[in-house]
Amino acid sequence: MTAFKKDQHIYFIGIGGISMSGLAEILADRGCVVSGTDIKETPVTKHLQSLGIRINFGHKAENITDDVDLVIYTAAIHPDNPEYQAAMAKNIPLMDRAHLLGDIMAEYNNSIAVAGTHGKTTTTSMVSEILLAADTDPTITVGGILPTIGSNLKIGHSPYFVAEACEYCDSFLQFNPLVGVILNVETDHLDYFKNLENIRRSFHAFAQRIPAKGVVVINQEIDNVAELTAGLDCAVETFGLEEDGATWQAKNIIHEPDGKNTFDVYYKGKLFGNFHLNVPGDHNIINALASIASAHYLGISAEDCRKGLLHFTGTERRFQRKGEKNGIVVIDDYAHHPTEIKAALAAAKKVQHNTTWCVFQPHTYSRTKFLFDEFGEAFGDADEVIIADIYAARETDDGSIFAAMLAERVAKAGKSARYVGDFEAIRAYLEANCKCGDLLLTVGAGDVVKIGEAFLKP
Could you tell me how far CA 435 lies from the centroid of its own chain?
32
User: Coil, strand or helix: which one is 340?
Assistant: helix
**Spatial separation of the C-alpha atoms in residues 66 and 83, rounded to whole Å:** 12
Write down the catalytic residue from 25, 129, 164, 167.
Answer: 164
Length in residues, the chain: 458
**Spatial separation of the C-alpha atoms in residues 103 and 123, rounded to whole Å:** 22
Does the annotation mark 167 as catalytic? no
User: Coil, strand or helix: which one is 333?
Assistant: strand
- Report whether 56 contacts 33 (CB < 8 A): no
Return the amino acid letter for 88: M
**Spatial separation of the C-alpha atoms in residues 57 and 400, rounded to whole Å:** 33
Write down the catalytic residue from 117, 121, 339, 442.
Answer: 121
Residues 6+ apart with CB under 8 A from 270: none
- Report whether 406 contacts 376 (CB < 8 A): yes
Does the annotation mark 37 as catalytic? no
Q: What is the DSSP letter of 453?
A: H
User: Coil, strand or helix: which one is 114?
Assistant: strand
Q: What is the DSSP letter of 316?
A: T
Phi first, then psi: give them for residue 251, nearest 5 degrees.
-135, 165
Q: Is 226 exposed, middle or buried (0-12, 13-18, 19+ CB in 10 A)?
A: exposed
Could you tell me how far CA 335 lies from the centroid of its own chain?
9
Within 10 A of 307 (CB to CB), how many other CB atoms are there? 15
Q: Is 78 exposed, middle or buried (0-12, 13-18, 19+ CB in 10 A)?
A: exposed
- Report whether 246 contacts 238 (CB < 8 A): yes
**Residue 69: CA atoms inside 13 Å, Cβ hemisphere, count?**
13
Residue of 183, 180, 124, 154 whose CA lies nearest to 297: 180
Does the annotation mark 325 as catalytic? no
Could you tell me how far CA 207 lies from the centroid of its own chain?
19
Q: Which residues are catalytic?
A: 120-121, 164
